[in-house]
Amino acid sequence: MKVIICGAGQVGMNIARYLSQDANNVTVIDQSSALIRQISDTLDVQAQVGHASSPAVLERAGAADVDMLIAVTQSDEVNMVACQVANSLFSVPTKVARIRNQDYLDPVWSDLYLRENLPIDHIISPELEVALAIGRRLQVPGAFDMIPMADGRVKVIGVICSADTPIINTPLRQLTGLFPDLSIEILAIIRGDRSIVPSSDDQMLPGDEVYFVTAHDHVARAMAAFGHEEPEARRLIIVGGGNIGLRLAEHIEAAEPNMTVRLIEHDRERAQTIAQRLKKSTVLMGDGLDTEILEEANVRAAEILVAVTNDDEANILVSLLAKRFGTQRVITLINKTTYNPLVTNLGVDAVVNPRAITASNILQHVRRGRVRSVHSLRDGFAEVIEAEALETSSVVNTPIRDIKLPPAVIIGAVVRGDTVMIVRPSTVIKPHDRVILLAAARSVKKVEKLFAVRLEFF
């Protein structure tokens, strides 16, 4: 696939890295010669300096012959115009734009993006997606990640094992026999710096980060097996009133009416704007690192604190401070992935990485075959994929044990209508089933081919 990425910032560079690893033909455009030089030195991509929406620049980048344009510059307007130019002058089939200004995303103006007006095929709002990702983590106490699949009927959940976790030190093949009521499939184990796609002989150890898949109505039982039976939180503090903090508070007001929200924002004008937007939440003006402000927010009684300022270091410090005051869980927004192992060891319960969330959303539109959703794990070591099985796919009408899957691929669940099946060796995939699987980065292309439409289908 040939792709042009407009914007070489953190998001653009992250997407370029994902796509170049898959042997796609990637060209990156940015006005900053320093960013272009950096991306040329670190990735196997073409890179050129220029204005992303300029027809001449897009022509030099090969826009007449690309499959997709992804516009993720810092300017919403440049991203929009780049998509318009790509469509009108070069007939680029798929255009993806990052749009951050919430006014552009108001459903009232949705006709703006019709093909005859502003032809953008897929819009990505990182702040909204990050807010929703944090909201999902709040739904499962004890989880550091939660990914809904198959319209919410299946959940992929990340948990950290401790010495008290009941199912540690047990080969995975024995879990079903020892815990017959446990309907889960272990998809990935992250142990220190190692990321493992497990075999049946592997076992979970204290300190492991584990991703498993289960049906929606089995989540509570599965979490109990990992030693988590905490009640749902009722008191939440949000530190940071930017777009993410505001959208998170709005989401909680709409989805969790029984939860009390206190939001701390240091800028007076922004705090006043937020107070006017929110209906039930309390807005405090002050520094989240000020112990008096935290005390005013009743941090000692809060079950969860979410730190989502624009400063990674401030987010880490306020999270650790909240832990010291007795807050049960802290969720921390961190852009620099190098901090992840450090903050987990310091006691941060969950880390949110905006770049990874944005890349996952874009990969969903890049993946070929009948792929419905994609979620990238731990800097792209693997992807959780939801794909539809077609009549011509080699995975249908064959027991799982007899399917010749690519290496480091685990099929976790099959959804047939409203029925969710956690797979066993005898499970048979039928046409039009939705298949939830994990694939290591090196096997993603082979998985795409498994679920692609073949010529005989027509």
Q: Per residue in 292-306, pLDDT tens?
A: 999 999 999 999 999
Per-residue pLDDT of 377-404, as tens digits, reads: 887 789 999 999 888 888 899 899 998 8
As a whole number of angstroms, the distance between CA 120 and CA 98 comes to 10
As a whole number of angstroms, the distance between CA 200 and CA 365 comes to 32
Mean pLDDT computed over 325-352: 85
**DSSP state, residue 140:** S
**What was the pLDDT predicted at 4?**
97
Per-residue pLDDT of 172-190, as tens digits, reads: 999 888 888 788 999 999 9
User: Residue 104: is its pLDDT beyond 70?
Assistant: yes
Burial 415-428 (b: 16+ CB within 10 A, else e): beeeebbbbeeebb
Q: Which position has the higher pLDDT, 26 or 179?
A: 26
User: What is the radius of gyration, based on Cα positions, of the chain?
Assistant: 23
Topology agreement, domain 2-124 and domain 235-352: yes
Question: Quick one: pLDDT band at residue 455, thresholds 50, 70, 90?
Answer: very low
Burial 308-337 (b: 16+ CB within 10 A, else e): bbeebebbbebbbbbbeeebebbbbbbeee
CA 378, distance to chain mean position in Å, is 10
Q: Which of 441, 403, 448, 443 is nearest to 423 (CA)?
A: 403
Per-residue pLDDT of 207-241, as tens digits, reads: 999 999 999 999 999 999 898 888 888 999 999 99
Strands ordered across the beta sheet of 209-215: 145-149, 154-160, 209-215, 184-191, 194-196
**What was the pLDDT predicted at 172?**
92
Q: How far is CA 448 from CA 59, 118, 385, 388, 392, in A?
A: 30, 30, 10, 11, 13
Compute the half-sphere exposure of residue 65: CA atoms within 13 Å on the CB side of its CA. Answer: 6
What's the CATH number for 357-457? 3.30.70.1450
What is the CATH topology of the domain spanning 235-352? Rossmann fold (3.40.50)
Burial of 29 by CB count in 10 Å (0-12 exposed, 13-18 middle, 19+ buried)? buried
- Contact predicate 218/157, CB 8 Å: no
Per-residue pLDDT of 238-275, as tens digits, reads: 999 999 999 999 999 999 888 999 999 999 999 999 99
Domains of the chain: which residue ranges?
A: 2-124, 235-352, 357-457
Task: Provide the mean pLDDT of the chain.
Answer: 90
| Entry field: residues in the chain | 458
Lowest pLDDT segment from 114-118, 167-171, 345-349: 114-118
Extract the tokens encoding 429: 């995939």
As a whole number of angstroms, the distance between CA 259 and CA 209 comes to 28
Query: Which residues are 4's β-sheet partners?
Result: 27, 69
Q: Which of 247, 105, 195 is nearest to 379 (CA)?
A: 195
Extract the tokens encoding 119: 């032809």
Q: How far is CA 100 from CA 1, 75, 97, 128, 243, in A?
A: 27, 9, 10, 8, 9
Extract the tokens encoding 45: 């991509």
As a whole number of angstroms, the distance between CA 374 and CA 283 comes to 35
- Contact predicate 66/4, CB 8 Å: yes
Mean pLDDT computed over 335-356: 81
Q: 3-class SS at 196? A: strand
- Contact predicate 314/322, CB 8 Å: no
User: Residue 452: is its pLDDT beyond 80?
Assistant: no
Count of C-beta atoms within a 10 Å radius of residue 196? 17
Q: Which CATH superfamily is domain 2-124 in?
A: NAD(P)-binding Rossmann-like Domain (3.40.50.720)
As a whole number of angstroms, the distance between CA 1 and CA 293 comes to 52
Count of C-beta atoms within a 10 Å radius of residue 206? 12
The residue with tokens 């539109």 is 365
